[in-house]
Homo-oligomer: A and B are copies of this chain.
Amino acid sequence: MSPSTVSLVLNGSEKIKKSTRERVLKAAADLEYRPNEMARSLVSSRSRCLSVTVPALNHVFSDVYFGEIISGIYQQANEAGYKILLDIAQESFIAEKEYLNILRNRRADGMLYIASTIEDRFLLEFEEEHYPLLLVNHYFPQSRLNFLSVDYRKAATLCAEHLLQLGHRHIGLVIGTNTFTGLDFRDRFFEVCEKRQVGKSSLPWIGCKDWDEQEGYNATQKLMSRHPELTAIMAGNDRMAMGAIRWLTGKGLRVPGDVSVMGVDNIPSAQYATPGLTTLKMDFFQVGRLSCKRLLEMLNRTRAECAELLDPHLVLRESTGPAR
């Protein structure tokens, strides 16, 4: 039997007689034949791999935010028979244009870039290149780069309305300002507050970069000492909110008795924190899953572009209460 016959059978062609097909399939099973993926990729110039890239944050995979997105991506990719190639956008990754090479090389057929920042301007190169790229949970305004993200303007609306409704009129905001989604959140948060006559002077804020517990802790310290009149801290994510609670309780302040704290993300520990953290549920697993789905659609040419926003939802727990 010739190689081509075998190849056709194994790739599910209809052109082979049933009896032959069965003979091939049986032989393949008996011999435990496994096609060499390298050879396959070489000739088809498709690796059936997707590159998943995350920013070079400290120990980034330990962040549940990224973990959840990656889990979602994996699930979808796996169902479609794709493998996941992991990458971190370190200096060399950018300097050596690895983000392009990995696609040029055919190590990956497409790229999912999770949580880029406003500094990742190198991504704009993909406007010129035709390589399939999708930004996950971020976007570049005024660019044609594909993205799928949680709607952070809606998120800000939900947060502001919740706190205002509880009577808070002096709210401290801690938020990362290195993402366009973070900036959107901040701007929209102020916008909604101002509509309810709560002006900027009652809304001191601190911008940061790492979005972690330590920054929440430090920022809360600064905000509370400069503005003791604050009755609520709005943190850009749960990790910072946990840092905020830590500082407040350390100072003997009660949460939410003295100061309410609200986060964003609904990470698992938010539920098990003391007090349970009021936050927004962003379904990051779904963000990952859908992002991957969209990218695969683009690879299959059943979709040309993607610009999609997913809704967040309020999760009420014990860390927010009426203003004192």
* Of listed A83, A87, A107, A269, residue having the most chain B CB within 10 A: A269
Whether a CB of chain B sits under 8 angstroms from the CB of A299 is: no
> With A38-B47, A61-B61, A213-B268 as given contacts, are A88 and B78 in contact (CB-CB < 8 Å)?
yes
Quick check: which of A98-106, A130-138, A153-161, A168-176 contacts chain B, the rest being far away?
Answer: A98-106
Q: Tell which of B34, B59, B106, B285 touches A71, judged by Cβ atoms closer than 8 Å.
A: B59
Judging by beta carbons under 8 Å apart, are A83 and B85 in contact?
yes
Residues of B within 8 A of A63 (CB): 64, 67
Chain B CB within 8 A of A31 CB: no
For A273, list chain B residues within 8 Å (CB).
242, 269, 273-274
Indicate how many identical chains form the complex.
2
Q: Counting CB contacts under 8 A, is A5 at the interface?
A: no
Option from B45, B71, B84 in Cβ contact (under 8 Å) with A62: B71
Q: How far is the CA of A70 from the CA of B42 in the complex (A)?
A: 29
Q: Distance (Å) between the CB of A228 and the closest chain B CB?
A: 21
A287 at the interface (CB under 8 A from B): no
Main secondary structure of the interface of A (DSSP, over half): helix
Contact with B along A20-61 (1 / 0, CB 8 A): 000000000000001111110110010101001000000111
Q: Which B-chain residue is minimally distant from A49 (CB atoms)?
A: B85
A87 partner residues in chain B, CB cutoff 8 A: 83-84
Interface-located stretch among A194-202, A243-251, A305-313: A243-251
Whole-angstrom CA separation of A228 from B25 in the bound complex: 64
* Interface assignment of A10: CB less than 8 Å from any CB of chain B: no
> How far, in whole Å, are A1 and B132 apart by their CA atoms in the complex?
34
Q: Which residues of B contact A70 (CB under 8 A)?
A: 61, 86
Check A37/B106 contact, CB under 8 A, given A269-B242, A272-B243: yes
Enumerate chain A interface residues (CB-CB to B < 8 A): 34-39, 41-42, 45, 47, 49, 52, 59-64, 66-68, 70-71, 74, 78, 83-88, 90, 101, 104-107, 212-213, 217, 239, 242-243, 245-246, 249, 267-269, 271-274, 285
